[in-house]
Amino acid sequence: MGFPTIRPRRLRRTDALRKLVRETSLAPSDFVLPLFFDANLSAPKPIASMPGVFRHPVQDAGKIAGELKARGILGAILFGIPEKKDAKGIVGLDPNGPVPRAIAAMKGAVPELVVMADLCLDEYTDHGHCGVLHTDAHGQIDVDNDATVEILAEMSRVYAKAGADIVAPSDMMDGRVGAIRSALDSDGRQDVIVLSYAVKYASAYYGPFRDAADCAPQFGDRAGYQMDPANAREALREARLDEEEGADMLMVKPALAYLDIIRAVRDASTLPLCAYNVSGEYSMLHAAADRGMISLERAMLETLGSIRRAGADFILTYHALHAAEVLGA
């Protein structure tokens, strides 16, 4: 018989064969659902730029926890919109704020649910930046790194006391992982996990999130503390520093335009690694599907599969509920 004698297509002949040799799998347990709890609401409010995503009233937190359990989704990460904001984000330390109350409600309803709390001041500052502002040595208004870290450490204490399993600093301040770990340990909260947004880029893909969390910067941008999208070696340095400071898990954000970074961090660290399939990535698929350009279901699973294939152990994604339904949880 002539060429070819090696025929890889044999393994693609049937659906059963393709599943048998599939290298990367997806399951509802791979997903964490981001949730927005708004202290000003009494009923869910749709987010116009994110089809199918809502701001929720805190009183719905327990019900949502039950829905996640029913779908086979093991975790959620919580963001809060307070009644009022202030210049330093101090309102985020309120133990009766939307996130602490939602944490307690979700853990009360489904104790085994893994509840994560995002740690950042942008949702709580009236200027939308991720920290306390000051005038630096060059006469420029900038985020005061060390003053911000102090508040984040206190916020971690509040969320841990409310019952959070995981706190997730997303601010990109230097030294915040070590400060948070120290604060938690000093409170006897050695069991609370620190998931560091270790590699977070200053990305154009965050636009819809800033609508959802009402946290767009009122001036300037976040390029002074989030990473330059052009940089890869810097990602490994940031991940290594956070690991050395005591991070239990690492994150790369965004995901889809940074699959190479996910793979590089995966190869460099043995810590659990997740990736955040961010709002812009989510809304792009919906926009294309609404115009008949793609199949939403197929593109969603292909996207999530690519993130897992790149090396993510789990994925923060707004697709979680839909994907779990499609996967047959």
Contact 134, 147 (CB under 8 A): yes
Q: What is the average per-residue pLDDT within 53-66?
A: 98
Q: What is the average per-residue pLDDT within 251-261?
A: 98
Is the residue at 19 inside a domain? no
Residues annotated as part of the active site: 200, 253
Whether residue 214 is predicted with pLDDT greater than 80 in this model: the reply is: no
Is the residue at 14 inside a domain? no
Q: What is the pLDDT of residue 211?
A: 82
Q: What is the average per-residue pLDDT within 130-154?
A: 92
Is the residue at 11 inside a domain? no
Number of structural domains (the chain) is 1
Q: What is the pLDDT of residue 1?
A: 61
Contact 78, 311 (CB under 8 A): no
Is the residue at 100 inside a domain? yes
The boundaries of the domain holding residue 170 are: 28-326
Q: What is the average per-residue pLDDT within 172-197?
A: 97
- Categorize the per-residue pLDDT at 213 as very low, low, confident or very high, splitting at 50, 70 and 90: confident
The DSSP code sequence of 124-163 is TBTT--SS-EEE-TTS-EEE-HHHHHHHHHHHHHHHHHHT
- Categorize the per-residue pLDDT at 142 as very low, low, confident or very high, splitting at 50, 70 and 90: confident
> What three-state secondary structure class fits 276?
strand
Q: What is the CATH number of the domain that holds 120?
A: 3.20.20.70
Is the residue at 9 inside a domain? no
What is the average pLDDT value for the chain, to the nearest integer?
A: 95
Is the residue at 7 inside a domain? no
Q: What is the average per-residue pLDDT within 111-131?
A: 94
In whole angstroms, give the CA distance from residue 164 to residue 160.
5
Is the residue at 167 inside a domain? yes
Is the residue at 16 inside a domain? no
